[in-house]
Amino acid sequence: MKIHLWSPGFDPSDGGIQAYSHELRRALTAIPAVTRIASIERGSSVATFIGKASWRALRERPDWIFTTHRNFLPLAKWLRKFTGSKVAASLHGIEAWHAPPYHLRIADLLLPVSTFTRDRVAAALGETIPRMELLANTFDAERFFPGDAPAGLRHRHALPPGAPVLLTVGRLDANETYKGHDQVLQALPAVLERHPQCRYLIVGAGSDRSRLELLRDRLVLGNSVIFTGRVSAEELPDYYRLSDVFVMPSKGEGFGIALLEAMACGIPVIAGYKDGCHDALRGGELGRLVDPDRPEEITQAIFDALDTRPGASVPVAKYFGRDAFHHRLEEIINSCAA
């Protein structure tokens, strides 16, 4: 089977879809039924991507075009007329939930990353639903595992000795304000009453940072909140290891790869139950699910996590490790080949 893989990018440090695309490409190369794979990155120029993807598809006529973002579907539909290629599209979160139904019906196969995304898309599509196969996210266990963070990292951010550290990792995009930073900030004054030296690290960059900084100032949180900016892929695991609790009470995550990374590094996680994070925590089996609209519930979950540290490790690799991802993907590919 010849596959063309289209993605916005393959650098895991650029975001969840890019991390997923990296793992998908890696897994495809190890599946015997896949005889050839060509990965094509959108990059900064859409016109260049369209030209390159079209030329290669017309020339090589792949059996399948796999896209990791639904925005590629119209181009894939046009090319299918000339190449006969079938089309598969990964569905992550908000980009899929808000897609016009006719847009998603272009695909021969849809690959939602969570039951939450699958169910929302299925409800929007109504009776005419393409084939759907669940393919949950995974993580790199060679990078994310328990350990001690370098002492210099604590010094860099002026963290007091022994101070508990809360962490959220994610893009700070003004169009994606659902990750729960606001809710953690609103819960923090109560946390500081019990843990005055607690620090909240916000890892990520984007257009929403200035608004969050204003909220921090209105709540008079001062240096208890630290914006680190974007962190390199090499350093990211150490930020998890530096922290005592990962907290992301989101309301619009399609899955939440950062939750897997945090659990793999051995720290307890808190997430909202109203989105795909429910899947990542297996309904609360692997971590604490809270109502993201109730700051007092988030506060209590933080107290409980800090009072019971260091938390017991959870079997995140069993359900979401690369072996599980590879096995599930191979099942899907073999069914496609048949």
pLDDT tens for the chain, residues 1 to 338: 999 999 999 988 788 899 999 999 999 999 999 999 999 999 888 999 999 999 999 999 999 999 999 999 999 999 999 999 999 999 999 899 989 999 999 999 999 999 999 999 999 998 888 999 999 999 999 999 999 999 899 999 999 998 999 999 998 988 888 899 999 999 999 999 999 999 999 999 999 999 999 999 999 999 999 999 999 889 999 999 999 999 999 998 999 999 999 999 999 999 999 999 999 999 999 999 999 999 899 999 999 999 886 555 789 999 999 999 999 999 999 998 87
pTM assigned to the model = 0.92
Q: What are the start-end ranges of the H helices in 126-180?
A: 151-156
**Residue 312 pLDDT:** 59
As beta bridge partners, residue 334 has: none
The pair of structure tokens assigned to 143 is 């990078």
Distance CA 76, CA 319 (A): 32
The pair of structure tokens assigned to 309 is 């540290």
Dihedral-angle region of residue 264 (phi above 0 means left; psi in -120 to 50 means alpha; beta otherwise): alpha
Element containing residue 116 per DSSP (H, E): helix 115-125
Distance CA 258, CA 243 (A): 13
Nearest to 27 by CA among 3, 43, 54: 3
Residue 282 near residue 316 (C-beta atoms within 8 A): no
Residue 74 near residue 54 (C-beta atoms within 8 A): no
Distance CA 192, CA 188 (A): 6
The pair of structure tokens assigned to 126 is 């109504």
**Residue 126 pLDDT:** 87
